């Protein structure tokens, strides 16, 4: 499956890539990686979780 097939927004796709590149990273680390705040990062992760793409 390609990332384009997942129909994610660009920020969602970037978060998925960040998680894949750095598994086990915390929310703050991921937010820093994406240069966003923790609340926005949480929303992105929540969306990915709801669609079964990641789990905590």
pLDDT in tens, 4-55: 788 899 999 999 999 999 999 999 999 999 999 999 999 999 999 999 999 8
pLDDT at residue 1 is higher than 70: no
Inside any domain, residue 4: no
State pTM to two decimals: 0.86
* Domain presence at residue 40: yes
Residue span of the structural domain in which 41 resides: 9-50
**DSSP per-residue codes, the chain:** --GGGGT--HHHHHHHHHHHHSTT--HHHHHHHHTS-HHHHHHHHHHHHHTTS---
* 13 is a domain residue: yes
For residue 39, being part of any structural domain is answered with yes
3-class SS shares of the chain: helix, strand, coil, % to 5: 65, 0, 35
Rounded distance, CA 52 to CA 56, Å?
11
Answer yes or no: is 43 within a domain: yes
| Domain count across the chain | 1
Could you tell me if residue 56 is inside a domain? Answer: no
């Amino acid at each position: 499956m390609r990332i384009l097939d997942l129909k994610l927004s660009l920020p969602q796709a970037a978060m998925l890539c960040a998680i894949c590149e750095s598994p086990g990273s915390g929310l703050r680390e991921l937010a820093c990686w994406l240069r966003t705040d923790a609340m926005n990062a949480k929303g992105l992760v929540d969306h990915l979780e709801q669609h079964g793409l990641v789990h905590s």
